[in-house]
Amino acid sequence: MNKKNYLDIINNSKKPFIIYKKDKGFDLFTDFSNKIILNNQNIRKFLKRKYKLKKKYKKTDLLIGFFGYELLNNLIGIKIPRQKNINFPKGIFYKPEKKINLKENLIYNFKSTQKIDSNFKINIDQKSYTKIFDKFKKKIKSGETYQIKICTKYKNKSQIDPLDFFCRLTKTNLAPESFIIKDKNYSIISCSPENLINKKGSHISTKPIAGTLRKTKKINKRKALNFFRKNLKETKEHNMIVDMERNDLSRICIPGSVKLKKEKSVEEYKDLYHYVSLISGKLRKKVENIDIVKAMMPGGSVIGCPKISTLNLLNNQEKENRNIYTGSFGYLKFNGDMRFNIIIRSILNYKNISEISVASGVVIDSNAKHEFNENFIKAKALIDLYK
């Protein structure tokens, strides 16, 4: 059975499946023997559970899925006020019994007569955004936060074929943390660029992204790097996030082991450039999954800093649940290894409602119009899929 036929067959079978980008190609997970729906009551038990490895370690000895934003807040003791809610699950993990390596570009025979709406409604217009922006600027000046991310949502009602969207997305905007989950009543399609946790044995790393520049014909990677280095606002934002991620890692790592491995490089995507660093450390003995998740999630680069006070400011301002946005997707292997991203640049399609959430960082030097427009730049590659 060739790869093209297999994607057609699995999509037509209506069986749930997950595809996750790896260094070369993709991993496809399916034939799930268990589906764990997480909530505020069972999340700790889920993270503390120990798994016995059989003599022969299998490539499906793992759980793969996502933690939603609200669930992660509750885990670290932060309560979210009552908000508009679509009653989407707070987190879901799956136990796969089949894993298939897809080494090349994804090919899928898409055939559909479904109507897709290319018009999106935004939940915060520029005027409302500016009011929130000015409010947070005052919070920065008073020292309650140093950087904060304002979330905006684009929504429409469409019946979509998630696999078609994902295959097209990987051709136009392939990102290192891309993934798709397709289940019976929902799908998530993501071109997330940001790795939050990569744990192998006692070694752990994180790759914060802070800094965005719109692509034009006149700007290449070298010019983008020069822009970031000379731009005071982008440099401040990046330095603050790197410092916070180093502090998060230091809570679970051996003192002195946390190092900045790669500082301030540029990554290129369809519509933008990002400013990126890489931090690594060596975990202390007896550190468990729950300790790692509580230390690192929600990812600081999409929240702001300091993390706790900034989360409280955000949650009291926002009127809608973030759902998956700024949560984390990835896997927990039974041998203790894990890999998780930050869920950004993603579409949640639930009950035929598509939701795209984005956010830009506000620091003391920020401009409201620029940050509002930056949000659209981040959403554009996903919105373009509906055209």
Domain encompassing residue 278:
3-386
124-130 contacts at long range (C-beta below 8 A, 24 or more positions apart): 124/150, 124/152, 124/153, 126/368, 126/369, 126/372, 129/368, 129/371, 129/372, 130/368, 130/369, 130/372
Q: Averaged over 119-124, what is the pLDDT?
A: 91
Which pLDDT score is estimated for 114?
Answer: 63
Q: Is the pLDDT of residue 273 over 80?
A: yes
In percent, the amount of the chain with pLDDT more than 70 equals 97
Which pLDDT score is estimated for 264?
Answer: 84
- Summarised one tens digit per residue, pLDDT across range 213-260 is 888 888 888 899 888 888 887 888 788 888 989 999 999 999 999 998
Q: Averaged over 187-216, what is the pLDDT?
A: 92
Among the residue ranges 282-291, 302-311, 322-331, the one predicted with the least confidence is: 302-311
| Predicted confidence band of residue 107 (pLDDT cuts 50, 70, 90) | confident
- Angle 255-258-263 from CA coordinates, rounded to 5°: 155
Q: What is the mean pLDDT of the chain?
A: 90
Q: In this structure, what CATH number is given to the domain that contains residue 256?
A: 3.60.120.10
| CA nearest to 175, candidates 26, 323, 324 | 26
Which pLDDT score is estimated for 113?
Answer: 54
Count Cα atoms within 13 angstroms, Cβ side, for 232.
4
- Summarised one tens digit per residue, pLDDT across range 46-98 is 999 988 777 777 899 999 999 999 999 999 999 888 888 889 999 999 999 99
Q: Averaged over 3-11, what is the pLDDT?
A: 77
Q: Averaged over 348-363, what is the pLDDT?
A: 90
Q: Is the pLDDT of residue 198 over 90?
A: yes
Which pLDDT score is estimated for 339?
Answer: 97
Which pLDDT score is estimated for 4?
Answer: 58
How far apart are the C-alpha atoms of 268 and 274, rounded to whole Å?
Answer: 7
Whether the CB-CB separation of 332 and 338 falls below 8 Å is answered with: yes
Which pLDDT score is estimated for 365?
Answer: 82
Q: Which two tokens stand for residue 94?
A: 């799956």
How far apart are the C-alpha atoms of 377 and 358, rounded to whole Å?
Answer: 9
- Summarised one tens digit per residue, pLDDT across range 159-186 is 899 999 999 888 888 888 999 999 999 9
Q: What is the dihedral of CA 252, 255, 261, 262, to 10 degrees?
A: 70
The better pLDDT of the pair 4, 74 is held by: 74
Residue 24 DSSP class: S
Which pLDDT score is estimated for 3?
Answer: 57
Q: Which two tokens stand for residue 164?
A: 């078609």
Beta bridge partners of 122: 154
**Number of domains making up the chain:** 1
- Integer CA distances (angstroms), 318 to 87, 129, 313, in order: 17, 11, 9
Q: Is the pLDDT of residue 1 over 70?
A: no
Which pLDDT score is estimated for 256?
Answer: 95
